Structure 1
C-alpha cells in the first residue's frame, strides 16, 4: 500500500529519486518565482516582453506602494477579512458541536445524518451556483457580506464535521465515563473535557478553512457584484485594464493576497502539524 523506502546501498535509485524530486520542485516553484520577479519589474520592461529574464531594475517599493495607491486593494483586503473571519469562527463552532454529537451520542438517524455531511463534500460546487444565487436574491442578501459568510460557513461545515467527528471519536471513552460519573452535563463535558483536548485539531481546521475561504474566487464572483463587498480574489480581476494591463502591479497584488494564509500557517505551524498527526501513532 505504501512505497518501499529506497535502500542506501541502491545509490543509482536514490540519485534518480532525488533528481526527480528536484525537477518536480523546480516545475512547481517556477510560476511562483516568475510572478515574484514580475512584481519587481517596471511597466516598460513588462511591455517590452521581458517576462522570464532577470529584471533590469528592481521597483519593489514603487510597485507595492502603487498597488495600494492606484487600486482599491486595501478595500478588497478588508472585505476578505470581514467575510473570512466570521466564516472560520462559524465553521469551528458548528463542526465542533456536530462532531461531538455525532461521535458521542447515539440516536436514530445518526449514521444517515453523518452520511449527509460527508456526501455534501462530493457535490461539485458549480451545480449549486444557480440555486444558491437565487436563494440569496430571494432573501435579499445578494451582493452582501452576509451572503458569502452564510454560504462559506454552510459549505465548509461538511468537511469540518467529518474532520472534528473523527478527532472527537478518537478520544478515550474513559474521559467521558469519568465526566458522567462526576455528574457533568453534555455541555460541561464538551467545554471542560473535549475542547481543551482538540485545540490542535481546531488550529489545523482554522488554517484550512481560512485558506479555503480566503482563496475562493468562484463564489466571490457569483454572490457579489459591487466593489464595496468584493473579496480580494475577485478584486484582483479588476486590476486588469480593458486594453493594457499593468502586469507588474497585478503580480505585486497577487503576492500581497497570498501573504495572509501563508503567514497564518507559519504562525500556527506547530499546532497545525500536531492537529494533523494527532492519533497517528499509538502508544
Structure 2
C-alpha cells in the first residue's frame, strides 16, 4: 500500500513540477529584456557597448545616461503631463463604472442587461479606427482659452481631450469587472439597509463601495498602468511637445540617423518606475481583487 501511495504522490507531483518549470522558464524569459536594459543603462554606448558588444563586460559603470535622459528627455515635465491626465481619468473611470455596475448588478429592471452590454461593447472597437473622426470633432469643439493648453480655442491639443478619450474607452471594461464583483455581494445587505431607512446613494457609498475595495485596487493598478503607458492618444491629440506624455520622452531621445540605445534604456527604466511602485504597493489587493470574485458562487 505504501508503494502504491508513493507512486500516486509521484504521479500527482509530476504535472505540478512540469507546470512550475514552465512558469519559471516564462518568468526568466520575461525578465531577460528588463535585465538587459537595466545593464545597458549603466554603460556608455559609443565607447563601450557599441565597440565591445551588448553582452560584454563593462569597462565602467556610470549614471551619466540617467542624468542625460532626465535633462534632454524632459522627463520631469512629461511626467507631470502624464499625471495630469492619468489621475483624473482614473478617478472618473472608477467612479462612473462603479455607478453603472451598481445600477446593473444590484437592481432588476428591464434594460439593465442591455445597458451593461452597451457599456462593455465599446471595448470591441479598435481605438485607431475612430482616430480621424474624433480628431475632427475635437478640432471643432470650442474650448475656453483659460482652460486650454494651446490657446487655440478648441478642445484639440488639451489634456482634457485625452482624459475624455480614456474615460470613454476604459469605463466599459471596469463596469464589466465591477458588475461581476458586485453580484457576489449578498443582496440581503442592501435589503437590510433599505429596511433601516438607507437610501440608494447611502447603500452605494457606505455599503457597496467599501466592500469593493479589493476590486478597486486591482482595477486601479491595471488602469494606472494602461493610462500611464498610453502613447497613441497623447501624441495624436496633444500637438505641442511640451504637453506630450512621458512615453514620448523616448521618442525625443531617438537620433535622426543613429540612436544611443543605452540612453534610451536609462529613460525606459525611469519611466517604468512609477507603474512598478504602484504594483508593489497594491500587489496584495491586486491579487485579491482578481481572485476573490471567482471563488464565490
Asked if these proteins are the same fold (TM beyond 0.5), I'd say yes
* Equivalence for 1:64: 66
* Equivalence for 2:94: 92
Quote the offset at 1:57 in angstroms. 1.5
| Conserved? CA contact 2:86–2:228, under 8 Å | yes
Out of 144, 147, 170, which is 2:184 matched to? 170
Out of 36, 54, 57, which is 1:51 matched to? 54
Q: For 1:186-205, list aligned pairs within 5 A.
A: 186-205=200-219
Instruction: Summarize the Cα distance change of 1:102–1:242 in structure 2 as closer, same or farther, 3 Å threshold.
Output: same
The structure with more radius of gyration: 2
* Partner Cα distance (2:212, 2:296) in 1: 17
Quote the offset at 1:207 in angstroms. 0.8
Quote the offset at 1:259 in angstroms. 0.8
| Conserved? CA contact 2:69–2:253, under 8 Å | no
* Partner Cα distance (1:200, 1:14) in 2: 29
* Equivalence for 2:25: 23
Q: For 1:2-151, list aligned pairs within 5 A.
A: 8-10=9-11, 17-44=19-46, 45-48=48-51, 50-59=53-62, 61-139=63-141, 140-151=154-165
* Partner Cα distance (2:58, 2:15) in 1: 38
Instruction: Summarize the Cα distance change of 1:259–1:9 in structure 2 as closer, same or farther, 3 Å threshold.
Output: same
Q: What TM-score results when the alignment is normalised by the length of structure 1?
A: 0.90
5+ residue gaps, structure 2: 1-7, 142-153
* Partner Cα distance (2:277, 2:26) in 1: 24
Instruction: Summarize the Cα distance change of 1:281–1:226 in structure 2 as closer, same or farther, 3 Å threshold.
Output: same
Confirm whether residue 256 of structure 1 aligns to residue 257 of structure 2. Answer: no
* Partner Cα distance (2:195, 2:172) in 1: 32
Instruction: Summarize the Cα distance change of 1:27–1:150 in structure 2 as closer, same or farther, 3 Å threshold.
Output: same
* Partner Cα distance (1:55, 1:146) in 2: 45
* Partner Cα distance (1:199, 1:19) in 2: 34
* Partner Cα distance (2:14, 2:259) in 1: 48
| Conserved? CA contact 2:93–2:174, under 8 Å | yes
| Conserved? CA contact 1:201–1:276, under 8 Å | yes
* Equivalence for 2:227: 213
* Partner Cα distance (1:266, 1:122) in 2: 30
Quote the offset at 1:151 in angstroms. 0.6
* Structure 1 outlier segments of 4+, above 4 Å: 10-19
Residues matched between the structures, number: 276
Instruction: Summarize the Cα distance change of 1:272–1:23 in structure 2 as closer, same or farther, 3 Å threshold.
Output: closer
Q: What TM-score results when the alignment is normalised by the length of structure 2?
A: 0.86
Instruction: Summarize the Cα distance change of 1:23–1:173 in structure 2 as closer, same or farther, 3 Å threshold.
Output: closer
* Partner Cα distance (2:175, 2:22) in 1: 37
| Conserved? CA contact 1:152–1:213, under 8 Å | yes
